[in-house]
Structure 1
Amino acid sequence: MIMFIIAAVVMFSGVTGSLNVTESLEADTADMLAHPNSVPEFTEEETEILGQILDVEAEGDVMATGELNPNHYQAQRAAKVVQHYLNTRNGSPFRLFRLSRVHSGNLEDLVDSGRKYQLEITVKESISNTTEKLSASVLFPREERQGSAQVQASCDELLKVNITAQEEAFYQQYKNSQNLVSAQYLPDSHGRIDDDMRPFWHLSIVASSFVMLKESNENTLYNMAQVANVTQLATENDQLKFDGHILLHDMVSQEIIHWKLQFTWSPPEGVKVLQMEQLPHCHHCEKPQNSN
């Protein structure tokens, strides 16, 4: 069984990696797609949730409404969508959000619009290691509506951590550089990332959150698995611009899904995804393996 990948957990494993400075990166596509990914161990709670998903889907059970078990997959799935939402709204090279705990949940079936989850959760800002308890709602539209989940949540306390100086220094360093940065395999096959590549890893996670937020529904549970490559592009405006190839892991289907992204970032504008494209399924790619 493929292990459950949590991007934030990968980020905290002891990391080193490689930084390649070049005018552009033209990676060999076949080799890139076949590169094995590093997978952390399941926590006890994550193992339990995976078992719940497999058991329920095997039985063809219908998700119940009303009060939810906060440790059950229904509440966890919806709460992960809140994580992606917060990253799209507030994420940066030095601010990254992850779900820490679900305290309570309630599910209501709205006949005209979809299924609405009301949640009490704790969110952790991974870089400063600060947490905040907050209320959130997630509305999954009915299939015939074919829309993205609608999320309402705010994390005012976590945004009080001042990262202005770090962001400005990073921005000026790469905005004024004569060389464009590129790197591949973040993390590498041993789960390592160089310290100077962590901001690019964080930016890629934030960009991937736009995809995961858009694609999430009640039958998915997405996490970032790996950055196959990220390349800085030349730009004439005030934004840092990047091409990225990311690997997402859907815990439910156990698929590794490849996406190509183009995104920008600057301190005043935040992360903006300009293009996102799902790449064809790679039948010859190696599936993630437990590196421990």
Structure 2
Amino acid sequence: MQLRRQPLSAPRPGDTRPAAQRLAVPLLLLLALQGAAASGEPEDSGWLQDAEPSSRLLSQAARAALHFFNFRAASPSALQVLASVLDGRAWVNQKKEYKFDLVFTTEFYRAEEGEKRLGTCSAQVFFRNDKPRPAVNVTCTQLIKKERRQEEDYQLYKLMKQLKSPLNAVRIPDSHGYIAPSLRPIWNLAFLGSSYVMWQKTTPFLHYFMSQISSVKQWKTNDDAIDFDYTVLLHEFSTQEIIPCRIHLVWYPGKPLKVKYHCQERQTPEEGSGTEEGSAVALTELSNF
């Protein structure tokens, strides 16, 4: 848009301000408009808002945000799953990149405790060129109390450290879908590590859920951390494929989770530890935990 040059108006009677000061406000307004155009807001950079985004697409983005939230929270005692999307907006551009603004509710992952609605989350999710590993900024409220979470994480940690021999188990749950109470903490730790993998692999059209632990082995360490090797089966929705993934997990209560993984792809095997190109080109954010 071209700006037409306007003649300078003569100062009004009684206006003794210098000409430079009289020009300051229009110049500041022009700079503000230029800054808004460069800010990358959806309406300024070729983004078109989807008037009626599908519930599947909004749920896809919400699940990706929760996978990231679970991984960064690094607490097997406070895992969350999606309950419902309360509100969501979506934008898409010519490159088939997607942006989402979401508000959704969550449920406590351990359904056997009878806890249903756990909290409410708001998130911004960005998928770049249909690639995995979306960029996420997520905030959640009304979570499990911090003191309770820390106590339960510590009790799990102490239990693992007191084992007389390193844990070595297979097929959790069993063929009947049963998880023994003694193995539930192991399942939660595996789900925690898998949250990282599922966030890394989620695209606008593919999402994942952990269906089984094929094997788990605990390693003795000289430091304070818990060190596990898992093989998990991830259910890839849309394609209905079952994908085996080897996950190496190092965990200590209150510390960032360390995860490395390798999944057996349908075509070309790729090493996956967050190094492949994805949507998240910068450190994504987590807050209110």
> TM-score, length-normalised on structure 2?
0.68
Deviations 1:60-85 (A, max 9, x none): xxxx9424456x21111111112211
Q: 1:113 to 1:272 in 2, by over 3 A?
A: farther
Contact 1:83/1:99, CA 8 A, preserved across alignment = yes
Moved over 4 A (4+): 110-113
**Structure 1 residue corresponding to 2:118, chosen from 131, 135, 140:** 131
Q: 1:68 to 1:266 in 2, by over 3 A?
A: farther
Q: Are residues 1:257 and 2:243 paired?
A: yes
**Structure 1 residue corresponding to 2:135, chosen from 150, 165, 172:** 150
Q: Percentage identity across aligned positions?
A: 27
Q: Are residues 1:85 and 2:68 paired?
A: yes
Task: Find the aligned partners of 1:260 and 1:81 in 2 and give their Cα distance.
Answer: 20
Opposite residue 235 of structure 1, the aligned amino acid is T
Worse-matched range after superposition: 147-156 or 116-125: 147-156
Deviations 1:107-142 (A, max 9, x none): 112568931011110012223624212211110011
Worse-matched range after superposition: 162-171 or 214-223: 162-171
Deviations 1:229-271 (A, max 9, x none): 1111111111100000000011101100110010011112153
Q: 1:68 to 1:186 in 2, by over 3 A?
A: farther
Q: CA RMSD in A?
A: 2.3
**CA-CA distance at 1:202 after TM superposition:** 0.6
What corresponds to 2:58 in structure 1? 75
Q: Which runs of 5+ in 1 are unaligned?
A: 1-63, 283-292
Aligned residues: 215
Q: Which runs of 5+ in 2 are unaligned?
A: 1-47, 268-289
Task: Find the aligned partners of 1:163 and 1:147 in 2 and give their Cα distance.
Answer: 30
Contact 1:92/1:270, CA 8 A, preserved across alignment = no
Task: Find the aligned partners of 2:184 and 2:85 in 1 and give their Cα distance.
Answer: 27
Deviations 1:168-205 (A, max 9, x none): 22212222433101211111111100101111101101
Opposite residue 65 of structure 2, the aligned amino acid is V
Task: Find the aligned partners of 1:229 and 1:68 in 2 and give their Cα distance.
Answer: 43
What corresponds to 2:156 in structure 1? 170
Opposite residue 119 of structure 2, the aligned amino acid is E
Larger Rg: 2
Task: Find the aligned partners of 2:52 and 2:167 in 1 and give their Cα distance.
Answer: 46
Contact 1:228/1:246, CA 8 A, preserved across alignment = yes
**CA-CA distance at 1:224 after TM superposition:** 0.9
Task: Find the aligned partners of 1:135 and 1:109 in 2 and give their Cα distance.
Answer: 19
Contact 2:168/2:215, CA 8 A, preserved across alignment = yes
Q: 1:152 to 1:180 in 2, by over 3 A?
A: same
Contact 1:91/1:97, CA 8 A, preserved across alignment = no
Contact 1:87/1:206, CA 8 A, preserved across alignment = yes
Pairing of 1:24-35 with structure 2 (within 5 A): none
Q: Are residues 1:269 and 2:255 paired?
A: yes
**Structure 1 residue corresponding to 2:212, chosen from 226, 244, 253:** 226
